[in-house]
Structure formats: structure tokens, C-alpha cells
Amino acid sequence: MTQATGGMANVIHSLPYQAAWLNGIAIAFFLLNVLLFVMNCVLATLRFHWRPGTLIHTFTDQTESLFIPASVVSFAIICINICQFGVPYVGPWLLRIMQILFWSYTAMSMLASATIYLVLWSTLVFPIHTMTPTWVFPAYPLLLTAPFASNLITAASQTNQTQVILNRTAIALSAVATQGAGCLIAFMISAAFIYRLMTQKLPRDFQRPGVFISIGPFAFTVGGIVLLGNQADKILPQGFLGTDLAVPIIKVLSVMIGLWLWGLSVWFFVVSVGSLWKYVRPANKMPFQMTWWSFVFPNTALVTATAALGKVFQNSGLQIFACVMAAGLIVVWVVVFVTMVRCLYKRELLWPKDTQ
């Protein structure tokens, strides 16, 4: 939920056509996301306090354990939003804080991802017939480093602050390293998921929204790498790697890699939408689960990736396509949020069942 809400602010900020009212909507999503994040942290802390043992159970439960990194990803999205809506309009102190947070987050993402996978591999067994793209979720913290870095460097360029020394080269290269690690992990898990689809068919109804998670790793990589490559002249020093052609080479490579992964993201989007075709018929209903937020969060990455490519190519078709997708995504966010609130009110969600 918090990832999707913060992602909506990121989507609106990335649109090529901006207006004051659009910026207001984006800031509203950002502030709502901060509120929801704090609320979730408080409620989770109360749960662990009032129900001793639930914290350890969370790390050893086949469902909950995969979503532990969601808190790290939500924190990264809040940091990205601060770079977008805060740093350009505040003093150098905020830029300095965000630089510290970037390095802290980069280390935390690597540690959190490796730790969660080690815990899962040491304590649980996940049969292949139960496999869904949520297996990639422990690697998701790695996939926000390049978007974080690109937005941090962009914000620093907009502020024109000379009091803060921002090592753009180190930030960009470390982001590419961690982003690449996350993307390659996602490649391996995607291969396992396709094998599962070929041998076990599509996931069950309540797991079906999770298919959209396949879009996120590659779309986030597109957005981060393309935006970093587009700023290569601000990132790379003169004569980088012993050549004066490093900047144009990096720009071309980033766009080619972005196109390659963007095509894969679009393919996964088509597959994910196609997997929901059976629910067009009134006889088939999909029960609401929190996994419905997968309709929003991974697709925010696809919209920002499309907008980034449209900006680089200066292609109005891609830019309009990104705007249309963003409008549709806002509608989906509203539908999912209203449905979630209704289920909470009717005690159909986060409420003990008769069998418990």
C-alpha cells in the first residue's frame, strides 16, 4: 500500500506535462504515503508488543517473510519523493541529509536482501508449484538504488548548491552495481516463474495479482539507468576511464539497455493483464487481498520508465502513452484503496476468522 501510494507521487512527478494542480496531487500522495508508513510502523510495533513471538513468526512464515523488505522499499520511495518535492526547495542541509541516507540505504538494501534470503533458505521450503513472483520481493530493496541515485543527482543539479559536495560519480556507480545485482536476481527468479507457469499453469485466484510483480524489477531498472545515463555529462569526470568519449558512450548504452528491459517489462505487463481475462465474466470473482496493490506498485515503475524513455528520445508518442497510463493508474489506485477500506469496515480483512 505504501509502495503504491508513494509510487503514484513518483509517477506524477515524472510526467512530461506538468501543472500546478498536478504537482499538488503528487504532494498529496507523498504526504498520505508518509502518514500511512508511520501508521503501519506503529501498528506493526504494537502487534509485536502485544503478541509476543509474532516478530520471529514473521521471519519464518512462508507468506509474511517475503514481504518484510516492503518496509525497506517504502522507506526508499519516501526518500525519492523527498528528493523530488523537498530538496530543490529547501536549503543545503536537506541535500546533505539525503546524501547520507542514500549511502545508508545502499548498504541497508544489500544487507536486508541477503539476510532475508538467507533466513528463508535456512528455515523454509518453497515448493515450485507454489511459486509466484513474490519470491523476488527480498531483492526489491536493491532495485530502488538507481532511481534513488538519479533523483538525488537531479535534485542536486536543480538546487545549484555549492555548500554541499555531492560525489555524483561514486553515487551513480554504486547505484548501478546494486541495481544490477537486484536485476540479475530478478532474471533468475523470472526464469523459475516461467518454468512454474509451464508446468503448473497460472497461480490461484488470490495469488493472481502477484503476477504483476514481474514487471517491477526491469521497469525500475529502466527508469534508474536511463535517467542516470541521461545525466552522464554531470556524473562522469573529464577523461573518465582514459577517454573523452565516455559520456556519449554511456548515454547510448543506457538507452539501449533501457529499451531492452522496457520491452521485457511491457511483455510481462501484457501477460499479467491477460492472466486476469477470466475475471471479465461475472461468474468469476477475485477475492480481495492486500496483493491487489500489485496492480499499482509495479506499474508505477513501468510508467516512469516509459516517461524516461519518452524524455530521452523526445518522443511525444511515448510521453502521451505515459500520461494515459498514469491516468489509468490513478483510477486503479482509487479502486483498490476504496475496496480495501470497505473490506476493513466489513471485517473481511485483517480480522480473525472462525477457523483461527
311 located within any domain: yes
**CA angle, corner 18, sides to 12 and 24, nearest 5?**
60
Q: Which of 66, 44, 227 is nearest to 139 (CA)?
A: 66
282 located within any domain: no
353 located within any domain: no
Query: Which pLDDT does position 345 carry in this prediction?
Result: 86
Query: Which pLDDT does position 62 carry in this prediction?
Result: 77
The grid coordinates listed for 32 are: 498520505
352 located within any domain: no
- Contact predicate 303/220, CB 8 Å: no
CA 46 – CA 50 distance, rounded (Å): 6
Angle between helices 70-85 and 20-50 (to 10 degrees): 150
pLDDT for 89-108, tens place per residue? 887 889 999 999 999 999 99
Residue 156 CA, chain-centre distance (Å), reads 22
State which residues of the chain have pLDDT below 50: 354-356
**CA angle, corner 344, sides to 35 and 353, nearest 5?**
130
Which DSSP symbol is given to 203?
Answer: P
Domain region containing 260 = 2-155+163-276+288-345
Q: Which of 73, 106, 103 is nearest to 6 (CA)?
A: 73
CATH of the domain at 176: 1.50.10.150
86 located within any domain: yes
57 located within any domain: yes
Query: Which pLDDT does position 209 carry in this prediction?
Result: 84
Neighbours of 89 (CB within 10 A): 10
Query: How many structural domains does the chain have?
Result: 1
CA 146 – CA 167 distance, rounded (Å): 15
Query: Which pLDDT does position 354 carry in this prediction?
Result: 44
Query: Which pLDDT does position 355 carry in this prediction?
Result: 39
Query: Which pLDDT does position 162 carry in this prediction?
Result: 59
- Contact predicate 23/11, CB 8 Å: no
189 located within any domain: yes
89 located within any domain: yes
CA 49 – CA 47 distance, rounded (Å): 5
Return the exposure string of 236-267: e unless at least 16 CB atoms fall within 10 Å of the residue's CB, then b.
beeebeeeeebbeebbeebbebbeebbebbbe
- Contact predicate 78/151, CB 8 Å: no
